[in-house]
Amino acid sequence: MLIIGAVLVLAAVFCGYLAVVGMPETRGTRGRVAQYAVLERKPLLRRMNDGAVSTVEGVLSRRGWRPFTSDELELAGMRSSVAALVVLVLALGGGTFFGLVALQQPVLLSFVASLLVPVVAKVVVRAKVGRRRKRFAGQLGSLLQMMASSLRAGQSLPTAMDAASRDADSPMAEELTRVVNEYRIGRDLVDAMEQVADRMESDDFRWIAQAIEAQRETGGNLNEILDQVAETIRERHHIREQVMALSAEGRISAYVLMALPIGIGIYYSMVAADRMGVFIDSGIGKLIMLGCGVMYVLGGFWMRSIVRIEF
């Protein structure tokens, strides 16, 4: 049974890999013409994956609801489509369920473990988005310095921003390139910057856009304005880092306390399944588990409200 469970888990991972790598390509003019030619021969698993992704895409389009958005995946640096990621999550969830059942684990425990797969996927995507936004916020000070230096050299604001986009690191380079390209096709520069501020959830970048807009209306030396904004942003970033360092112990304690019940439950369900079965099979055990779940959720929200500090 152990071998069967391992094979099922590996099969789920392989199907998930195909779901990410083997995304269906958009049909263009060549694709429409190719339907009258000899069809390309694809491996069976590749065709099954393409069919699954197409089916999921159709279902999501009809429902009008998506567990992940395209902006989330783009910010997370994931090149797969939403449908391909959903297929990957479903494959991993199914592999987890059947793998645990093959390992003779309780069906309820296997089902709960499979439900944790989409939760973990959502957490991973949000964590990647959060890291990207944090890197973006940390690059604002150097961005303003480069722009101010270019303006002092006599360049215009769009030219200075274009030069900064070529010298900056990711993700600042990609976002500035987006702003410059939108400006070149006729969009207002401040509006493009406001959209980037919304995407990255950066109040500091919004301040830069507002400072540029104010300079347009009232005049003044944009170099000095950007220098003042850069100084304010650096001070805010320094204070934010101090607060995060002081609250790090509380956050780590919250993570440990939230992970302990789940880890202990999984451990005892493997080494002492008969004892854990009491909480699943008996009525009083189910009530205890329900009460523990409610208190677990309430405790998680309470600790989150304590360690989360708004700036």
**Residues, the chain, total?**
311
Q: What pLDDT score does 185 carry?
A: 93
Residue 26 has pLDDT above 50, yes or no: no
List all residues 6 or more positions away from 269 whose beta carbon is below 8 Å from its beta carbon: 105, 106, 109, 276
Checking if the pLDDT of 23 tops 50, the result is no
The 8 Å CB, 24+ separation contacts for 238-246 are 239/311, 240/311, 243/309, 243/311
The pLDDT value recorded for residue 136 is 92
Q: Are 73 and 125 in contact (CB under 8 A)?
A: yes
The pLDDT score that the predictor gives to residue 32 is 53
- Non-local (6+) Cβ contacts of 157 within 8 A are 147, 151, 189, 212, 222
* Residue range 5-18: mean pLDDT, rounded: 53
Backbone φ and ψ for 34, nearest 5 degrees, come out as -70, -15
Give me the CATH code for the 139-233 domain, please: 1.20.81
User: pLDDT (tens digit, 9 = 90+) per residue, 29-77?
Assistant: 545 555 554 445 566 666 666 677 777 777 777 777 777 877 888 888 7
What is the reported pLDDT for 22? 45
